[in-house]
Amino acid sequence: MRKSQDQFGYKHGILWDYGASPYELFEQKLKSWVQNSHYFYLLGAQKQKWLETLIENAVPVIDMEQMRFYSPDNVEDFAKMRCPIREFHSTRRQFACAFQNAQQLKHWFMEYWGVKPSYEKSVQIFYQLADLRKMDPVDIACLDDHFILRFAKDQICHEDS
């Protein structure tokens, strides 16, 4: 009976109701977090579709698994940080810690992708979004004229005055 109760009370060794915010406020908080972002990066097409619906396409959502250079095998153990809620992890089984996974991915992202615009990054973003208008102007500026004319010429609008 105890094992059955644990299945309903825990996931990855953490209590379902652990945290400072009620789950009902998640959608509202998520929308406020992304409102000033240019892109939202995540892993997985299913999560991408779910999140696009949840935030009502407020920002472009990019699946890093679709990026040419990304592979889970590329993600090394960058500066593993100790989980702040480690005491709530189950001691009976070895669980993957979402916090540690997120920190590991963040370190990889900053190391290999970074926050600086580049031609390769801009091309990858364009292929993900398939729409020049959804891109950050800084990323568009990295694309050369030939690329834009070849792949996005139908998206360039001219205003007639």
Question: pLDDT per residue over 136-145, tens digit each?
Answer: 899 999 999 8
> Minimal CA–CA distance to 139: which of 106, 116, 157?
116
Model confidence at 89, pLDDT cuts 50, 70, 90, reads low
| pLDDT tens figures, 110-159 | 776 777 788 888 898 898 888 888 898 999 999 998 888 888 777 765 44
- The residues pairing with 40 across neighbouring beta strands, listed in sequence order, are 61
pLDDT tens-digit profile of 44-74?
A: 899 999 999 888 888 899 888 887 665 656 5
At 93 the pLDDT is 56
Residue 155: CB atoms within 10 Å: 14
Taking the C-alpha atoms of residue 134 and residue 137, their distance in angstroms, rounded to an integer, is 9
Identify the pLDDT of residue 142: 93
How much is the pLDDT for 1? 39
Amino acid making up residue 142: C
68/61 Cα distance (integer angstroms): 16
Tally of CB atoms within 10 A around 132: 19
